[in-house]
Amino acid sequence: PTRAEVMDVANAVLDGTDAVMLSAETAAGQYPSETVAAMARVCLGAEKIPSLNVSKHRLDIQFDNVEEAIAMSAMYAANHLKGVTAIITMTESGRTALMTSRISSGLPIFALSRHERTLNL
């Protein structure tokens, strides 16, 4: 990949994107597997800079509901405790995981539920 392509992918990750994809021309090229592997390496490298992914989203407001306040508190704690490598949230409907994911942290979020329908959202 060119330097510009590497920077585009890395900046997308640093900006908090949830996914990256190849352009049609690149995906149809002679080396699609190698291209995906290179893009994965760039993404993993960019994700190792978690301080850039820490959101200051909504730190200065009051919350209207308890669920949102708890999600924000969990994300704040995860962002400021050493050694935290992931966030696990229990959810009935998926809403808790959604609220948690709105606050960038650079950490993976795992949603657990006893409802198969919720897990397949």
Pick the CATH number of 54-119 from 3.40.50.300, 3.40.1380.20, 3.40.220.10, 3.60.130.10: 3.40.1380.20
**What's the confidence (pLDDT) of residue 31?**
87
Map out the domains of the chain as residue ranges.
3-48, 54-119
The radius of gyration computed from the CA coordinates of the chain, to the nearest angstrom, equals 17
- CA 79, distance to chain mean position in Å, is 13
Taking only the tens place, the pLDDT of each residue in 15-34 is 778 788 888 777 788 888 88
What pTM was estimated for this model as a whole?
A: 0.54
Q: Got the DSSP string for 9-53?
A: HHHHHHTT-S-----HHHHTSS-HHHHHHHHHHHHHHHHT-GGGG
Check if the beta carbon of residue 97 is closer than 8 Å to that of residue 75: no
* Amino acid sitting at position 56: K
